């Protein structure tokens, strides 16, 4: 039996920088938005645990502490904040969006006239041999452990992959007194040429670049070896990681470690946007699909996407997008104020500059397109259903010409993560094999429930 | 920074852990990455993402199987059991 409908004028999904900033801006003019958050405390992934800080700013760095102000404003404002909730179903029409929400083991049916999706990003699933072994973990996951309670590895980890987060975590471990034993970067050493080639963007990106240079400098001074241009990576071991193998300058090398932390960039968390049937395009520079938004961040008549869920722009940009979406909502419901034009222009201008800077970072930390080609047959692409690269290639050879066909042929993407970890890889592999663009290949059809929900939870009325 | 501890039971044994941890973080802190979970295909697995995406942290909490350990904070008296492969992850 479906419970009674709870109604709200404005709902926001997610309480990271975008969701918090949108809620605070709306509360400022007297609205009381409902904010659904999967986590137990506000802050999203970037400012996780900042509301009950567990590790010093000296370790985490200034960017983390910066979120404090926004969290304070969010906690002070009159907002209907609902932590520990999961929106598992959404359906949008001219009247608004219907939401299936799971809270404390019970399902609720919500109707929101205006909805801002601020679900953020996730770390990209990036297959390599042995990545399913215990002891392989995402760098972002290791950082979450650090934020939750200064949980640090017992032995020095190896960090591998590419992107700013890889070096940030390495620096944070260094500050915490456990420097990584090795950093393996898949980006070529020539990437610094991009800074010269894209000097205008480099100027906009100067604070990121200086910060990165300072961190890399500190790591090098501490004697942490950094190898660039890594073309292959594998985790080796029986029940858990014992060592890793990698190819550097054409030479195969091994290194003993119990913990391999990898990072291959972040990508919009696609599930709700996909299940709503929103149009997506392949973003060549971000190397991922992003939902199509207009200048006001709208993706529908009463639906907006703010923050990294709409394309990766980082925490500060997400905060601006949250404010922009809030202003767009107010315009939509006839409560806009001409005096806000200046605020909007300033936000849009800052956003343009930040996204320009971002595109330089994207070219510096570009992921190798041919990575999957160089992987052995047995590399798992879908961890949930244990589907290997070889099985997918056999299905393609048998005529599997799209992600949904491969799903039906192999069960790839049919496990509990619902394709979040393998979806992009399947698109990439098909694009390489068929000689199509990722855009032409497309992505899995995503249908609700977008979170696992038990029959008991579905049947329990609030 | 002092932090309050709560008592949890992991596979029947009591432990004191900081209340700021999620279930997955607590299990990793107490037991390390080895032996977190056995997958349906028989292979050993452990949490990958810690942010509710990968479902590698599935664990039994207070008798309910297949909970996402990375999303649920620990609580006083909570009973946690690692899944040895008899529980299907679907």
Please check the confidence at residue B85 and state whether its pLDDT lies above 70: no
CB-CB under 8 Å, B49 with A140? yes
Q: Is B29 a member of any domain?
A: yes
Three state DSSP letters for chain A: CCCCEEEEEEEEECCCHHHHHHHHHHHHCCCCCEEECCCCCCCCCCCCCHHHCCCCHHHHCHHHHCHHHHHHHHHHCCCEEECCEEEEEEEEECCEEEEEEEECCEEEEEEEEEEEECCCEEECCCCCECCCCCCEEEHHHHHHHHHHHCCCCCCCCEEEEECHHHHHHHHHHHHCCCCCCEEEECCCHHHHHHHHHCHHHHHHCHHHHHHHHHHHHHHHHCCCCEEECEEEEEEECCCCCCEEEEEECCEEEEEECCCEEEEECEEECCHHHHHCCCCEEEECCCCEEEECCCCCCEEECCEEECCHHHCCCCHHHHHHHHHHHHHHHHHHCCCCCHHHHHHHHHHHHHHHHHHHHHHHHHHHCCCCCCHHHHCCCCCEEECCCCEEHHHHHHHHHCCCCCHHHHHHHHCCCCCCCCCCCCHHHHHHHHHHHHCCCHHHHCCCCCCCCCCCCCHHHHHCEC
Please check the confidence at residue B1 and state whether its pLDDT lies above 90: no
CB-CB under 8 Å, B51 with A122? yes
Please check the confidence at residue A437 and state whether its pLDDT lies above 70: yes
Confidence of residue A462 (pLDDT cuts 50, 70, 90): low
Please check the confidence at residue B51 and state whether its pLDDT lies above 80: yes
User: What residue ranges do the domains of chain A occupy?
Assistant: 5-123+267-336, 136-264, 371-441
CB-CB under 8 Å, B48 with A141? yes
Q: Report the chain A residue with the minimal C-alpha distance to residue B90.
A: A416
Q: Is B87 a member of any domain?
A: no
pLDDT in tens, A54-75: 788 888 888 888 899 999 999 9
Q: Counting one residue from A and one from B, how many pairs have CB atoms under 8 Å apart?
A: 117
Confidence of residue A353 (pLDDT cuts 50, 70, 90): very high
Average of per-residue pLDDT across B9-35: 94
Share of chain A above pLDDT 90, in %: 81
Please check the confidence at residue B90 and state whether its pLDDT lies above 50: no
Please check the confidence at residue A163 and state whether its pLDDT lies above 60: yes
Please check the confidence at residue A150 and state whether its pLDDT lies above 70: no
Please check the confidence at residue A105 and state whether its pLDDT lies above 70: yes
- Residues of A within 8 A of B87 (CB-CB) are none
Average of per-residue pLDDT across B20-42: 92
What's domain A5-123+267-336's superfamily in CATH?
FAD/NAD(P)-binding domain (3.50.50.60)
pLDDT in tens, A389-414: 999 999 999 999 999 999 999 999 99
Annotation: CATH topology of A371-441: Arc Repressor Mutant, subunit A (1.10.10)
CA distance to partner chain B, nearest, from residue A151 (Å): 7
Q: Write down the architecture of domain A136-264 according to CATH.
A: 3-Layer(bba) Sandwich (3.50)
Average of per-residue pLDDT across A192-219: 88
Confidence of residue A319 (pLDDT cuts 50, 70, 90): very high
Task: Determine the structural domain holding residue B62 and report its residue range.
Answer: 5-81
Share of chain A above pLDDT 70, in %: 98
Predicted pLDDT of residue A442: 97
Predicted pLDDT of residue B25: 95
pTM: 0.95
Q: Is B57 a member of any domain?
A: yes
Indicate the number of domains in chain B.
Answer: 1
Q: Is B88 a member of any domain?
A: no
Average of per-residue pLDDT across A30-50: 93
Predicted pLDDT of residue A1: 46
ipTM: 0.94
Please check the confidence at residue A2 and state whether its pLDDT lies above 70: no
Query: Is it true that A5-123+267-336 and A136-264 share their CATH fold?
Result: yes
* CATH number assigned to the domain comprising residue B31: 3.10.20.30
CB-CB under 8 Å, B28 with A151? yes
Please check the confidence at residue B74 and state whether its pLDDT lies above 60: yes
């Amino acid at each position: 039996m479906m419970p009674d409908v709870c109604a709200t004028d404005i709902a926001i999904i997610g309480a990271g920088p975008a969701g918090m900033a949108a809620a605070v801006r709306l509360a400022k003019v007297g609205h009381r938005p409902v904010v659904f958050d999967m986590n137990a405390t506000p802050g999203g992934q970037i400012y996780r645990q900042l509301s009950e800080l567990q590790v010093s700013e000296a370790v985490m760095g200034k960017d983390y502490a910066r979120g404090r102000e926004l969290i304070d404003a969010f906690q002070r404002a009159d907002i209907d904040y609902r932590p520990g909730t999961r929106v598992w179903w959404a359906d949008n029409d001219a009247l608004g969006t219907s939401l299936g929400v799971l809270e404390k083991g019970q399902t609720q049916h919500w109707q929101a006239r205006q909805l801002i999706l601020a679900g953020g990003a996730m770390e990209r699933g990036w297959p390599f041999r042995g990545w399913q072994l215990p002891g392989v973990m995402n760098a972002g996951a290791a950082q979450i452990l650090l934020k939750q309670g200064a949980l640090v590895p017992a032995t020095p980890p190896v960090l591998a992959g590419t992107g700013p987060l890889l070096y940030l975590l390495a620096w944070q471990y260094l500050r915490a007194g456990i420097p990584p034993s090795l950093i393996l970067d898949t980006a070529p050493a020539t990437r610094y040429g991009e800074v010269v080639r894209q000097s205008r963007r480099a100027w906009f990106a100067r604070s990121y670049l200086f910060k990165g240079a300072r961190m890399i400098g500190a790591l090098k001074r501490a004697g942490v070896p950094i190898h660039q241009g890594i073309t292959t990576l594998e985790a080796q071991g029986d029940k858990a990681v014992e060592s890793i193998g990698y190819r550097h300058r054409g030479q195969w090398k091994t290194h003993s470690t119990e913990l391999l932390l990898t990072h291959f960039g972040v990508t919009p968390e696609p599930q709700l946007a996909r299940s709503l049937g929103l149009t997506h395009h392949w973003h060549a520079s971000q190397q991922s699909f992003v939902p199509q938004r207009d200048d006001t961040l709208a993706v529908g008549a009463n639906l907006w996407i703010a923050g990294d869920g709409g394309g990766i722009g980082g925490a500060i940009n997400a905060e601006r997008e949250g404010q922009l979406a809030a202003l767009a909502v107010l315009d939509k419901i006839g409560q806009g104020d001409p005096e806000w034009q200046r605020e909007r222009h300033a936000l849009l201008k800052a956003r343009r500059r930040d996204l320009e800077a971002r595109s330089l970072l994207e070219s510096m930390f570009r992921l190798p397109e041919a990575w999957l080609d160089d992987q052995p047959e047995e590399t798992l692409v879908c961890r949930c259903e244990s589907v290997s690269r070889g099985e997918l290639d056999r299905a393609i050879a048998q005529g599997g010409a799209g992600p949904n066909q491969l799903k039906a042929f192999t069960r790839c993407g049919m496990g509990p993560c619902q394709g979040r970890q393998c979806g992009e890889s399947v698109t990439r592999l098909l694009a390489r094999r068929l000689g199509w663009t990722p855009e032409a290949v497309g992505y899995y059809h995503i249908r609700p429930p977008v979170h696992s929900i038990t029959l008991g939870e579905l049947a329990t009325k609030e | 920074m002092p932090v309050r501890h709560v008592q949890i039971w992991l596979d029947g044994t009591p432990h004191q852990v900081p209340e700021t941890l999620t279930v997955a973080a607590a299990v990793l802190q107490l037991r390390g990455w080895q032996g977190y979970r056995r997958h349906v295909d028989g292979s050993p697995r452990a949490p990958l993402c810690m942010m509710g995406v990968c479902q590698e942290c599935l664990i039994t909490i207070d008798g309910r199987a297949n909970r996402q350990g990375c999303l649920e904070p620990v609580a006083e008296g909570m009973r946690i059991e690692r899944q040895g492969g008899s529980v299907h992850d679907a």
